[in-house]
């Protein structure tokens, strides 16, 4: 059996058999993969805290060409984010983040930007960047990576530029200027549109400049709806967040 190694974030685990766990991993070189952790349900096992949510781990694994699942043999902890992830003010955001990755991003979709995005999310939350701004930044980028973020600078209908405010099309595939708007309900202010453009060239550590300029809760709800629409899914973890209550 071929043997390989990969650096990964743990996105979740489930019982697989009487003694084993099914592990979902976001890898830095193969996208999201599913793996078996043999014996992980035993009281004493070789994985221990390596399988905590969003632990960054260097795993060794082996696989058979005809099988979908790989099998983990061992791992070395790169960095634990347990204190950040398990914090009561953070945990449901991380549940939703993991759910979006697992249900919206295709398996084996190898785009290293997703891995770097998750690491930036964790590192910047550790540095004290506001969670709602970070989560909004994540939503914008995950839509952009999947090719589903609209152009915030051009009307989808008449191609007008330099729009001061706009309305989101009901199919979420573009924005409309005031001249082209019909019955659309979601409006973006000039600052909203500027924020979307800003994320293309700025790191999340600079997010504080937007603290009082945009309505984070409104934008988070909107981009979450875009993910659900395009992914044909319902994100159950969102019901626990203040933005959706």
What is the predicted pLDDT for the residue at 64? Answer: 75
Nearest alpha-carbon partner for 12 in 125, 113, 91, 123: 91
Burial class (CB in 10 A: 0-12, 13-18, 19+), 147: exposed
> From CA 175, how far away is CA 186, in angstroms rounded?
10
> From CA 94, how far away is CA 82, in angstroms rounded?
11
Domains in the chain: ranges and CATH: 3-80 (2.40.50.140), 84-244 (1.20.1440.120)
Q: What angle separates helix 112-126 from helix 91-104, to the nearest 10 degrees?
A: 180
Tell whether pTM > 0.85.
Answer: yes
Containing H/E element for 188?
A: strand 187-188
What is the predicted pLDDT for the residue at 149? Answer: 97
3-class state of residue 66 by DSSP: coil
| Neighbouring-strand partners of residue 7 | 58
What is the predicted pLDDT for the residue at 2? Answer: 65
Query: Structure tokens of 8?
Result: 């990964």
> From CA 192, how far away is CA 166, in angstroms rounded?
9
Mean pLDDT by 10 residues, the chain (245 residues): 86 93 95 93 85 96 80 94 95 97 90 96 97 97 96 96 93 96 96 97 97 95 96 94 80
Nearest alpha-carbon partner for 203 in 149, 106, 129: 129
> From CA 55, how far away is CA 50, in angstroms rounded?
6
Termini Cα distance of the chain: 49
> From CA 213, how far away is CA 189, in angstroms rounded?
10
CB 59 within 8 A of CB 5: yes
Q: What angle separates helix 112-126 from helix 131-145, to the nearest 10 degrees?
A: 180
């Amino acid at each position: 059996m071929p043997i390989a190694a990969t650096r990964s974030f743990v996105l979740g685990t489930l019982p697989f058999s009487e003694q084993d766990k099914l592990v979902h991993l976001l890898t830095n070189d193969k996208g999201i993969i599913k793996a078996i952790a043999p014996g992980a349900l035993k009281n004493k096992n070789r994985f221990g805290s390596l399988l905590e949510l969003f632990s960054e781990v260097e795993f060794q694994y082996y696989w058979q060409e005809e099988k979908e699942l790989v099998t983990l043999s061992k791992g070395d902890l790169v960095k634990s984010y347990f204190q950040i992830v398990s914090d009561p003010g953070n945990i449901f955001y991380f549940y939703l983040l993991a759910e979006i990755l697992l249900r919206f991003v295709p398996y084996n979709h190898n785009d290293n930007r997703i891995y770097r995005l998750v690491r930036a999310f964790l590192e910047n939350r550790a540095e004290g960047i506001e969670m709602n701004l970070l989560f909004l930044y994540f939503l914008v980028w995950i839509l952009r990576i999947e090719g589903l973020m609209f152009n915030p600078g051009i009307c989808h209908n008449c191609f007008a530029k330099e729009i001061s405010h706009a309305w989101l099309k009901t199919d979420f595939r573009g924005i409309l200027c005031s001249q082209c708007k019909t019955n659309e309900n979601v409006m973006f202010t000039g600052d909203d549109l500027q924020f979307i453009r800003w994320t293309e060239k700025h790191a999340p550590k600079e997010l504080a400049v937007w603290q009082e300029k945009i309505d984070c809760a409104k934008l988070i709800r909107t981009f979450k709806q875009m993910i659900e629409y395009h992914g044909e899914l319902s994100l159950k973890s969102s019901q626990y967040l203040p933005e959706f209550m």
